[in-house]
Amino acid sequence: MSKHVLIVEDDVDISRLLRLELEDAGYRVSCFDNGMRGLAAIREDRPDLIILDLGLPDVSGTEIARRVRRTDPTPIIILTAADDVETKVTLLNAGADDYLAKPFHVQELLARVGVQLRKHGGGGATRVGDLTIDAVRRHVAWGEDEVRLSPREFELLQYLAGQPGRVYSRREIEMNVWGGDLPPSSNVVDVHVANIRSKLRDAGGYGVIRTVRGVGYAIKG
Ligand code: CA
């Protein structure tokens, strides 16, 4: 069955173009031109991916992302007219998985849609020893015990678990988990790793993430 992409965009030219291109690429597409109708349809239809315009007439794309993210792991790509660091940080913190600044190339959007669908719909959970990471349900467990992570902690752990045993540098982690938007010499990666370790220990998981001094971190392979 083809994947369902739901678009919330009040610019009819853009949503028409996106619909054509996405349908051409084999997706099922539905379009909404205001935030509240879009949000209702997201709840009702449970699409596989959401494309949100940031500037909508009623509710902002950021607010929709935030509301969806409270209950739902569906990947969200936000279209924005602004391309500054502050906007990006706000969008990513609101729970957007990716964003594109307008004007964008439709091929780039299609590529990013594909990336998000692979990332979220990869089928089944990743297992590393006693650790289970379910990307679809955004659920982490150590053995039988659930480990409750913040969205960013989840992404960090999921990123490290992409290749168990491989050492990921702080810079790589910043680029891939935070989109590179951290100030230089920020210790935010270390703080998140410390939080994840503490939560894993509470569930009985010791020594899951290894520190490689002066380089970065690895999940025990
Ligand atoms: Ca708009």
Residue with tokens 């010791």: 206
Going from the Cα of 17 to the center of ligand 1, the distance in angstroms, rounded, reads 14
CB 18 within 8 A of CB 11: no
> For 55-67, what is the mean pLDDT?
93
Going from the Cα of 54 to the center of ligand 1, the distance in angstroms, rounded, reads 6
Going from the Cα of 132 to the center of ligand 1, the distance in angstroms, rounded, reads 40
Q: What is the average pLDDT value for the chain, to the nearest integer?
A: 90
| 4-119 and 126-219 in the same fold | no
Q: State the architecture of 4-119 in CATH terms.
A: 3-Layer(aba) Sandwich (3.40)
Other residues' Cβ atoms within 10 Å of the Cβ of residue 81: 11
Going from the Cα of 122 to the center of ligand 1, the distance in angstroms, rounded, reads 31
Going from the Cα of 19 to the center of ligand 1, the distance in angstroms, rounded, reads 16
How far apart CA 91 and CA 32 sit, in angstroms, is: 20
Going from the Cα of 56 to the center of ligand 1, the distance in angstroms, rounded, reads 5
Going from the Cα of 118 to the center of ligand 1, the distance in angstroms, rounded, reads 27
Taking 70 as the threshold, does the pLDDT of residue 1 lie above it? no
Going from the Cα of 11 to the center of ligand 1, the distance in angstroms, rounded, reads 6
Going from the Cα of 104 to the center of ligand 1, the distance in angstroms, rounded, reads 14
Going from the Cα of 176 to the center of ligand 1, the distance in angstroms, rounded, reads 28
Going from the Cα of 116 to the center of ligand 1, the distance in angstroms, rounded, reads 22
Going from the Cα of 24 to the center of ligand 1, the distance in angstroms, rounded, reads 23
Answer whether CATH 3.40.50.170 is correct for domain 126-219: no
Q: Helix axis angle, 12-24 relative to 106-121, nearest 10°? A: 60
At residue 204, what is the residue type? G
Q: What pLDDT digit, counting tens, does each position of 13-45 carry?
A: 999 999 999 999 889 999 999 999 999 999 999
pLDDT of residue 154: 94
DSSP-derived secondary structure for the chain: -PPEEEEE-S-HHHHHHHHHHHHHTT-EEEEESSHHHHHHHHHHH--SEEEEESS-SSS-HHHHHHHHHHH----EEEEES--SHHHHHHHHHTT-SEEEESS--HHHHHHHHHHHHHHHHS-SEEEETTEEEETTTTEEEETTEE----HHHHHHHHHHTTSTTPPEEHHHHHHHHSTT-SPTT--HHHHHHHHHHHHHHHTT--S-EEEETTTEEEE--
pTM of the prediction? 0.57
Q: What pLDDT digit, counting tens, does each position of 159-178 carry?
A: 898 778 889 999 889 988 88
Going from the Cα of 9 to the center of ligand 1, the distance in angstroms, rounded, reads 6
The closest alpha carbon to 193, from 184, 203, 201, belongs to: 201
C-alpha of 14 from chain center:
23
Domain boundaries, the chain: 4-119, 126-219
